[in-house]
Copies of this chain bind each other. A is one copy, B any other.
Amino acid sequence: MNRTELIGQIREKRTFLCVGLDPDIKKMPSSIVDNASTPGEAIFVFNRRIIDATAQYCVAYKPNLAFYEAYGIDGEKALADTVMYLKENYPHHLVIADAKRGDIGNTSAMYAKACFETLGADAITVAPYMGKDSVSPFLGFDGKWVVLLALTSNPGSLDFQLVEDKEGRRLFERVIETARSWASSEQMMFVVGATRGALFEDIRRCAPDNFLLVPGVGAQGGSLEEVCRYGMTSDCGLLVNSSRGIIYASSGEDFAEASAREASKLAAEMARMLDLYQK
């Protein structure tokens, strides 16, 4: 899915919500788990119900690969089934493989193949530590995206991302500025955590037109209003992710309805933000 299509979807649906698919069988209703012959089967049934319930309120889904890999091959199958289900039934939703990959060139090329060709995702999250040749192999695919880690929402983001160089430039700023020379905003997004609301102004100075994937609203305490006030552009320029707040809104049999309710609340709030802050 290219940038024009993504912006079109956001305009049409008045939402920039991304639903994070971090399935954990310990948090699913027992009927789902009891009726499945494997954990992977439970995950796929759960995901399908969540997707059908929330699709009208979001423009993207973000399966978090760790939650599938933890169940081994059975989990990998659930991931492949989930992406295929999305591609077949919701072709206008962006599918972001949240993988945080990044390695030397020939290895990144294999990760790119795994994500874009074998799995069929539209985008992948990539870690910047190893530099240009670790990111470039992900950029050779038409209509596919790299979502590069810049400023994350977790406490450990303080350890390295905010370190200033001799000119006072922080590492996340250097990452964004450097990476913008590797690819245009047609192919590159950045991860910026919602818990860093006021820093969105600084981010927009470095990356005026890139889409930002924003985790940390909800469970991690970030403010949607602050993110939009400082981060929204005339093309929206934001994908705000919520995982646990939506998919585990209820642990009972009504989990799908509860996820729809939470997604719909966030989408309504996002429509309001678009009215207020889209410049």
Chain A residues engaging chain B, CB cutoff 8 angstroms:
22, 64, 66-67, 69-73, 76-77, 80, 98, 100-105, 107-108, 110-111, 113-114, 118-119, 127-135, 149, 152-161, 163-166, 171, 174-175, 178, 215
Say whether B160 contacts A134, CB under 8 Å.
no
With A69-B118, A114-B72 given, is the CB distance from A161 to B22 under 8 Å? no
In the bound complex, CA of A98 to CA of B171 (Å):
25
Tell me which of B80, B111, B149, B166 contacts A72 (CB under 8 A).
Answer: B80
In the bound complex, CA of A247 to CA of B243 (Å):
42
Question: A169 CB to closest chain B CB, in angstroms?
Answer: 9
* A127: B residues at CB distance < 8 A: 100, 102, 127, 129-130
Say whether A76 contacts B66, CB under 8 Å.
no
Say whether B165 contacts A163, CB under 8 Å.
yes
Say whether A22 contacts B131, CB under 8 Å.
no
Number of copies: 2
In the bound complex, CA of A163 to CA of B178 (Å):
12
Say whether B160 contacts A114, CB under 8 Å.
no
Question: A239 CB to closest chain B CB, in angstroms?
Answer: 17
Q: Which of A149, A153, A154, A174 has the most CB of B within 10 A?
A: A154
Besides A105-B154, A132-B155, 19 more A-B contacts (Cβ < 8 Å) are: A66-B101, A66-B107, A69-B110, A70-B114, A72-B114, A73-B76, A100-B101, A104-B153, A104-B154, A128-B160, A129-B161, A130-B152, A131-B157, A159-B178, A160-B171, A160-B174, A163-B171, A163-B174, A166-B166
* A163: B residues at CB distance < 8 A: 165, 171, 174
* A69: B residues at CB distance < 8 A: 110-111, 114, 118
In the bound complex, CA of A234 to CA of B174 (Å):
39
* A67: B residues at CB distance < 8 A: 107, 110
In the bound complex, CA of A164 to CA of B105 (Å):
25
Say whether A149 contacts B166, CB under 8 Å.
no
Say whether B100 contacts A66, CB under 8 Å.
no
